[in-house]
Chains A and B, each alone.
Chain A
Amino acid sequence: MSSSTDRAIQIEGLMKSYGSLKAVDRISFYVKKGQIFTLLGPNGAGKTTTVEILEGLKEADAGRIEFFGRKVDRIAGKEKEDIGVLLQKNSYIEKVKVKEMIKMFSSFYKKSLPVHEILEKVALKDKENSYVENLSGGQQQRLSIGLALINDPKILYLDEPTTGLDPQARRNLWDLIEALKSDGKTIFLTTHYMDEAEKLSDYVYIMDQGRIIADGTPEELIDNLGQENVIDFARNGLEDPEFSRLKELYPRIKSNPEEISVYVQDLSTALPDLINWAETADFKLDNLKIRRPNLEDVFLELTGKGLRD
Chain B
Amino acid sequence: MIKQYLTNTKILSLAFLRNKETVFYVLVLPLLFMLIFGSLYSNGEGQQQARVLLYFEETAAVDRTEIEEVINANQSMSYQHIDSLEVGEQLLRDYEAEILLRVSETELEFSFNPARIQDNPALEQQSRAIARELDMRYYGLEEYLQTEIIDAGDHAGTSQFLSLFPGLIALGLASSGLFVIVELFIYYREKGVLKRMAASPLNRNSFTFALISSRMPASLLSTALILLASRFIFNVSFTINWFLFIPYILIGTVIMMGLGALITLFTTTSDSGFQAASILLTVMIFFSGIYFPIEFLPSYFQQVSRFLPLTYLARGLQQIMGVSPLNPASLAVETGGLFILSIVLIYAVSQKSSWVAE
Residues of A within 8 A of B (CB): 18, 52, 55-58, 77-78, 80-81, 83, 85, 87, 89-96, 100-101, 103-110, 147, 151
Contact call B193/A107, Cβ cutoff below 8 A: no
Interface residues of B in 196-251 (CB under 8 A from A): 196-203
Contacts of A106 in B (CB 8 A): 7
User: Is B18 interfacial (CB 8 A cutoff)?
Assistant: yes
Q: In the assembly, what is the distance between CA of A271 and CA of B3, in Å?
A: 69
Q: In the assembly, what is the distance between CA of A93 and CA of B207, in Å?
A: 13
Contact call B15/A96, Cβ cutoff below 8 A: yes
Known contacts A103-B11, A107-B7: A91-B201 contact under CB 8 Å? no
User: Is B4 interfacial (CB 8 A cutoff)?
Assistant: yes
Q: In the assembly, what is the distance between CA of A108 and CA of B7, in Å?
A: 10
Can you list 21 A-B contacts with CB-CB less than 8 angstroms, sorted by A residue number?
A18-B358, A52-B356, A56-B198, A57-B195, A78-B201, A80-B201, A87-B196, A89-B192, A90-B192, A91-B195, A94-B19, A95-B18, A95-B19, A96-B14, A96-B15, A104-B8, A105-B200, A107-B7, A107-B8, A108-B197, A110-B201
Contact call A80/B199, Cβ cutoff below 8 A: yes
Residues of B within 8 A of A (CB): 3-4, 7-8, 11-12, 14-16, 18-19, 188, 191-193, 195-203, 356, 358
Contacts of B19 in A (CB 8 A): 94-95
Q: In the assembly, what is the distance between CA of A95 and CA of B356, in Å?
A: 22
Measured CB to CB, the nearest residue on chain B to A58 is: B356
Contacts of A56 in B (CB 8 A): 198-199
Measured CB to CB, the nearest residue on chain B to A85 is: B199
Q: In the assembly, what is the distance between CA of A78 and CA of B203, in Å?
A: 12
Measured CB to CB, the nearest residue on chain B to A18 is: B358
Contact call B200/A93, Cβ cutoff below 8 A: no
Measured CB to CB, the nearest residue on chain A to B188 is: A93
Contacts of B202 in A (CB 8 A): 108
Q: In the assembly, what is the distance between CA of A58 and CA of B356, in Å?
A: 8
Contacts of B4 in A (CB 8 A): 107-108
Q: A77-B201, A87-B192, A91-B195 are in contact. List 4 more A-B contacts (CB 8 A).
A: A56-B198, A93-B15, A104-B8, A151-B200
Contact call B201/A94, Cβ cutoff below 8 A: no
Residue among A94, A106, A108, A147 with most chain B CB within 10 A: A108
Q: Give 3 nearest A-B pairs by CB, closest first.
A: A85-B199, A77-B201, A107-B7
Contact call A104/B7, Cβ cutoff below 8 A: yes
Min distance, Cβ B274 to any Cβ of chain A, angstroms: 15
Min distance, Cβ A8 to any Cβ of chain B, angstroms: 17
Contact call B12/A93, Cβ cutoff below 8 A: yes
- Which residue of B15, B196, B199 is within 8 Å of A91 (Cβ)? B196
Contacts of B8 in A (CB 8 A): 104, 107
- Which residue of A52, A81, A104 is within 8 Å of B201 (Cβ)? A81
Contact call B14/A100, Cβ cutoff below 8 A: yes
Contact call B11/A100, Cβ cutoff below 8 A: yes
- Which residue of B12, B15, B356 is within 8 Å of A57 (Cβ)? B356
Known contacts A104-B11, A107-B7: A83-B18 contact under CB 8 Å? no
Min distance, Cβ A154 to any Cβ of chain B, angstroms: 14
Contacts of A91 in B (CB 8 A): 191-193, 195-196
Contacts of B198 in A (CB 8 A): 56-57
Min distance, Cβ A283 to any Cβ of chain B, angstroms: 50
Contacts of B12 in A (CB 8 A): 93
Contacts of A96 in B (CB 8 A): 11, 14-15
Contact call B199/A55, Cβ cutoff below 8 A: yes
Measured CB to CB, the nearest residue on chain A to B22 is: A95
Q: In the assembly, what is the distance between CA of A89 and CA of B197, in Å?
A: 12
Measured CB to CB, the nearest residue on chain A to B199 is: A85
Q: In the assembly, what is the distance between CA of A287 and CA of B356, in Å?
A: 47
Min distance, Cβ B176 to any Cβ of chain A, angstroms: 16
Contacts of A100 in B (CB 8 A): 11, 14-15
Min distance, Cβ A164 to any Cβ of chain B, angstroms: 15
Known contacts A93-B12, A100-B14: A108-B196 contact under CB 8 Å? no
Q: In the assembly, what is the distance between CA of A78 and CA of B193, in Å?
A: 21
Measured CB to CB, the nearest residue on chain A to B16 is: A95
Contacts of B195 in A (CB 8 A): 57, 87, 91
Contacts of A94 in B (CB 8 A): 15, 19
Q: In the assembly, what is the distance between CA of A100 and CA of B15, in Å?
A: 10
Measured CB to CB, the nearest residue on chain A to B191 is: A91
Residue among B4, B8, B191, B200 with most chain A CB within 10 A: B200
Min distance, Cβ A82 to any Cβ of chain B, angstroms: 10
Q: In the assembly, what is the distance between CA of A57 and CA of B202, in Å?
A: 13
Q: In the assembly, what is the distance between CA of A90 and CA of B197, in Å?
A: 10
Contacts of A58 in B (CB 8 A): 356
Q: In the assembly, what is the distance between CA of A121 and CA of B4, in Å?
A: 23
Contact call B7/A103, Cβ cutoff below 8 A: yes
Measured CB to CB, the nearest residue on chain B to A144 is: B196
Min distance, Cβ B88 to any Cβ of chain A, angstroms: 59
Min distance, Cβ B159 to any Cβ of chain A, angstroms: 41
Contact call B200/A108, Cβ cutoff below 8 A: yes
